[in-house]
Structure 1
C-alpha cells in the first residue's frame, strides 16, 4: 500500500516525519553534553529519513556528520527546525548543487536560539504552568480527575510539536522567516507573556495565604489590620511576597534553596511573634 507523501513529487511520507518526530520526542534530552548538547539526538532522529534519501553509504555518512554539529534548543518547538532540515536534505539529495552542507548547518545554528526562546516561553512558561494549575486546583477541591488533568500536558505538546514538524517541512528553509514577517511569532510571545503574568497573579491570590493577626479599637469596634489592608487592596500581603521573591531572583539570581530557607525562616519568626497567621 502506497503511503501518502507530505508534498507532491516528494519522497517523504507522513510516516517518515512521524518516525522523526517520535524519535526526537523520546531522546531529545538524552544526549546532552557540553560539547554537542542535543546534536546526537538530532542526528539519531533523522537517520531513517537520511537512509531513505541517501542510498549511497558515503552520502549517508556525510549527511549524518552534518547533524552532529553542536545543537541546543527547546525540545517541542525544535520540531520546526527538524522539519526544515528534512526538507533541505531532500532538496540536496535531489539536486546536490542547489543546497550546500554549510547552508543546512547554518540554518540550524541560526534558528536554535530564537526557537529556544519561543519554546521556553510557550511550552514551559505558559502551557505547563497552566495545565498543572488546573490539575492542582481540581485536586485541591477533591476531584479525582486532578491527577489525570496533569497529563494533558503530553497530548497538547504532541499536537503542536507535530504541527510544527509538518509546517517546517512544508515551508522549508523559509518557514521561520515567513512566520516572522507575518507577525505571528511576536503575537504568540506577547500573548504567552500576558497569560503568564495573569496566572502568577491568580496563583498568588489563591494559594499564598498570609494574613496579619493584630487588632485595634476604632470607635468602640475591634478592627483587624488585615481588614484595613483588604479594604485598600485585597491580597496586598501575598502580592508583596510575590514581588519580593521576584526582586530577590532579579538581584541574587535563581538561588532557590536559599530563597526557600529565607521564606521558611521569615514565616516562622513572624508566626512566633504573633504578627501573622
Structure 2
C-alpha cells in the first residue's frame, strides 16, 4: 500500500461498494452510490484541497452503469490513480471506458451463468426437502459478496503497477479511453432509449406502410433514439435545461403520443 492509503481503507471501499445502487436513478444510474463509496478515500487523498476534491467528486458523479459485484475493481484502479495524482482527463476517460466492459463481463459471469446454474442445483435440492439447497445458495451468494473486497484490492494493485506506463502514455490512453467511452455511450443509447412509432399509412385497401419498420428502420436503425438523445443533450449543454424538467417533458410526451396512437 502507498503511504496515504491503508489496507483498512481499501477493505472499507470494497464493503462500501455494496451500496452502489442505493441511490439508483435513470439520470445517472449508479453515480451517487459510486461517489459515496469513493468519498472517504478521496477526502484522505485531497485533504484540504477542496477544488481537487470537488473535481474528483464531479467526475465520479457522471453517468455510470456497471456490474455491482465487480465495481470494486474499477474503484480500486481509480483510487490508485487518484493517489498518484494522475491527469483528471485520464482518470475520467478510464472510468468511462471500463464501466461498460466490466458490466458485460460481470453480468455474463454472475447473472447469466453462475447464479442461474446454482439456482437450478439448489432448487433441485430444495424440492426434495434437502436443507442443503437454500444453505448452499446463500453460501455462494455470500462468497460473491465478500469477493468484492478482493476485486477492490486487485484493482488497486493493478493501478499502482500500471501508473508509470499510464504516465508515459497518458495522452494516448486518454484519447483511446475517450473513443471507447463514446462507443460505450452509443451502445447505451441503443439499449436504454426506445422509441417505437406505431403509425402506419394505407397505400390501398390491402397494403400499408409502417412508419417505423418500413421507413425509419430501413434508412437508419435506432435513428429516433439517437435523435432524441442528441436533442436532450442540446437542451442540457446549450440551453442549460434542468434534467428533471427534461424527464418530465419526456414523460408527458410519451403519454400524449401513446394516447394518440403515435407511439
Which interval holds the TM-score relative to the shorter structure? 0.5 to 0.7
1:83 to 76, 79, 92: 76
Instruction: Give the distance between the partners of 1:134 and 1:29, measured in 2 at CA.
Output: 28
Larger radius of gyration: 1
SS at structure 2 position matched to 1:151 = helix
Contact 1:131 1:152 in 2 (8 A): no
Partner of 1:48: 40
Q: Which residue is 1:107 aligned to?
A: 94
Structure-2 residue corresponding to 1:146: 133
- 2:157 matched to 1:170? yes
| Superposed displacement of residue 153, structure 1 | 3.1
Give SS of 2:17's match: helix
Aligned-pair CA distance for 1:24: 1.3
Deviation at 1:135, TM superposition (A): 1.6
After the TM superposition, which residues 208-219 of structure 1 pair with which residues of structure 2 at under 5 Å, given as runs? none
Please show how residues 9-48 of structure 1 align to structure 2 within 5 Å: 9-25=2-18, 27-48=19-40
User: How far apart, in 2, do the equivalents of 1:21 and 1:129 lie?
Assistant: 25
* 1:53-97, Cα deviation, whole Å (9 max, x unpaired): 1111332222211211111111111221111011011011xxxxx
Residue 159 of structure 1 deviates from its aligned partner by: 3.9
Q: CA deviation at 1:46?
A: 0.5
Alignment equivalent of 2:122, drawn from 135, 139, 143: 135
4+ aligned runs moved over 6 Å, structure 1: none
Residue number in structure 1 paired with 2:60: 67
Deviation of 1:147 after TM superposition, in Å, equals: 1.9
Higher mean displacement: 157-166 or 118-127: 157-166
Q: Are the aligned partners of 2:13 and 2:37 in contact in 1 as well (CA < 8 Å)?
A: yes
Shift of 1:134: 2.4
CA contact (8 A) 2:31 2:63 kept: yes
CA distance in 1, matches of 2:150, 2:115: 18
Alignment size in residue pairs: 162
Mind listing any 5+ residue stretches in structure 1 that lack a counterpart? 1-6, 93-98, 178-277
| Cα distance in 1 between the residues matched to 2:59 and 2:84 | 15
Aligned runs of 1:227-242 on 2, under 5 Å?
Answer: none
CA RMSD of aligned residues (A): 2.0
Whole-angstrom CA distance in 1 between matches of 2:116 and 2:135: 15
Tell me the TM-score normalized by structure 1: 0.55
1:127–1:153 CA contact under 8 A, matched in 2: no
Gaps (5+ residues) in structure 2? Answer: 166-263
CA-CA distance at 1:150 after TM superposition:
2.0
Answer whether contact 1:69 1:105 (CA < 8 A) is retained: no
